[in-house]
Every structure is written in structure tokens, then in C-alpha cells.
Amino acid sequence: MYIIVAGGGKVGYFLSKSLVAEGHEVLIIEKNAKKCLAIADDLGSIVMRGDACEAATLEETGAARADVIVAVTGDDEDNLVICQMAKVKYHVPRTIARINNPRNEKIFKLLGIDVTVSTTELILAHIQQEISAPDLIHLLRLRHADLEIVEARITPDARAAHRPLRDLGIPSTCAISAIIRNGKVVIPSGETCLEPEDEVIAACAPASEDALREALGTRDVPR
């Protein structure tokens, strides 16, 4: 895949490094000349100096043949505009934006950004998980399909523990896609029993989150 990463800060840098290691063609767009040089020194000629909000820059990057654009600058408004320009002018099929203010997620979705990732919200979710009953952690939201990927940890006294999935009354708009058990991925069937400390990854419509919580019994378990 050809992936354009807008923003060569820490997130953009480490993201690109991983993507390159996975064999993708990556291009980082970064405004700051010094940062560009540092990235080029380390990762080679996969960086271009420029403002990713400018059409001329996007044109030069070959946005028209990009499979994904990821906007990870520190400013939400820039990330929004980068994704919108890429979508509207260059028909980039998939746009991913980093959001700093979690409240902005709604407007990003409304305006057609495919995936939003909010570091703030991720950290918040982890803190919530630590301090209250285990709950669903939002891993990813897919706007176009009105679908989210969530994670839940099964506690020893959860309602779902030691019971097969088919008996749990999982809502039909949810699919348990994977179970992470002792660090290994288990692809579940209806017969699979959940065990304490399992991490359950589910695809789920946002509206049926509560039903999923209830089915897994992860909410009403005090720690």
C-alpha cells in the first residue's frame, strides 16, 4: 500500500517506521526542515517538506495514487483539513485522523473522515478500566460502516466466565472476532468458552454496546 503520513512528529515518525518495516511505501509530509532532515537521516528518502493542507503539496506527493492518508499533526483542525482535501481533491480511499480533543470526534465523523484515533480517549479508557469495573475499551471506530472495534477483559467473576459464547446472548449486531488468551489469539466459535483474563475483541454497532456489556457481564462486576 502507498500510505501518506501527514506530520513528522513522534507519532508520525514511529508510525512510519513501523509501516516501512511492514513493507509499505510510506511518505511523510512535514513542515519543519530540521525534522525532515532528521527523518531522512534515519529512514531514508521517505520524507517531503511541505504543508499537507496545501493542494500543491498533496499533488506532489502523488496523493491520487495513495491508498491511505494518515493525518497525525498536533492540531485537530489541520488533521481535518488534510483528510478532507485528500478525500475531496484526490479521492484517497481511506482517511485516518488523529484527534487531540476527543470532543472533535463527532464532527470528524460527520464530515466523512473514515477513522479517528484519539490518544486522549485511549488513555482515558485505560484509566477508566483501571479505576472502575472493567468496561469496553474502544479500539477503533469505522465511520462509514457505523461499526466499532471494542475490547473487554473477562474478570474471574464475570457472568460470561466459563460459559460458551452461544449461551451468552450476544446481540446479533455484535461479532466476537477474537479472544486473546495468554497472549495468543483464539478465533472463537459458538462453543468456545470464555475464561477469566481473556481479552475479547468484538466488532459491534455503537448502539448495541450496552447489550454487549450485559452479555459479557463486564459492567456490574466491582473490582
Partner 1 sequence: MEQLRRALVPVNGDDVDIEAVQFACSVARRSKAKIYVIYVIEVKRALPLDAEITSDVARAEQILSRAERVAEEASYEVETDLLQAREVGSALVEEAAERDVDVIIMGARYKRRFGEFHLGTTVPYVLKNAPCRVWVMREAISSARSRQD
Partner 2 sequence: MQIVILGCGRVGSTLARMLDAEGHDVTIVDQNADQFKRLGPGFRGTALIGNGIDEDTLRRAGIEQADAFAATTNGDNTNIMTAQMAKHLFHVPTVIARLYDPIREETYRVLGLETFCPTTLGASVLKEKLNKAGASAARARR
Provide the binding-site residues for partner 1, judged by CB under 8 A.
Answer: 2, 25, 27, 40, 44-46, 48, 59-62, 64-65
Interface mask (CB under 8 A) for partner 2, residues 43-82, using x and -?
----------xxxx------------------xxxx-xx-
Q: Tell me the closest approach of the beta carbon of residue 14 to partner 1, in angstroms.
A: 21
179-218: contacts with partner 2 (CB under 8 A): none
Q: Which of 37, 88, 127, 142 binds partner 2 (CB under 8 A)?
A: 88
**For residue 217, what is its C-alpha cell?**
457481564
**What's the rounded Cα separation, in Å, for the pair 38 and 8?**
10
Nearer to partner 1, 1 or 88 (CB): 1
Q: Which of 119, 40, 20, 26 is nearest to 76 (CA)?
A: 119
Q: Please identify, using beta-carbon distances, which residue of 103 and 162 lies nearer to partner 2.
A: 103
Collapse the DSSP code of 73 into the 3-class scheme (helix H, G, I; strand E, B; otherwise coil) and give the result: coil
Single residue of 10, 65, 91, 103 touching partner 2 by CB under 8 A = 103
Size of the site for partner 2 (CB under 8 A): 21
Pick 19 or 115: Cβ nearer partner 1: 19
| Separation between Cα atoms, residue 220 and residue 223, nearest integer Å | 10
Per DSSP, 132 falls in state S
Residue among 107, 123, 142, 207 that touches partner 2 (CB under 8 A): 107
Q: Which does 104 bind (CB under 5 to 8 A by kind): partner 2, partner 1, none?
A: partner 2
CA atoms within 13 A on the CB side of 64: 6
Nearest distance, CB of residue 194 and partner 2, angstroms: 38
Question: Cα–Cα–Cα angle for 43, 139, 28, nearest 5°?
Answer: 20
Of the candidates 146, 124, 119, the one whose C-alpha atom is nearest the C-alpha of residue 137 is: 124
Beta strand residue intervals within the chain, DSSP E:
2-6, 25-30, 47-49, 68-71, 94-99, 115-118, 137-142, 147-153, 174-181, 184-186, 199-204
Taking CB under 8 A as the rule, does residue 1 contact partner 2? no
- The contact set with partner 2 (CB under 8 A) reads 53-56, 75-78, 80-81, 84-85, 88-89, 101, 103-104, 106-107, 110-111
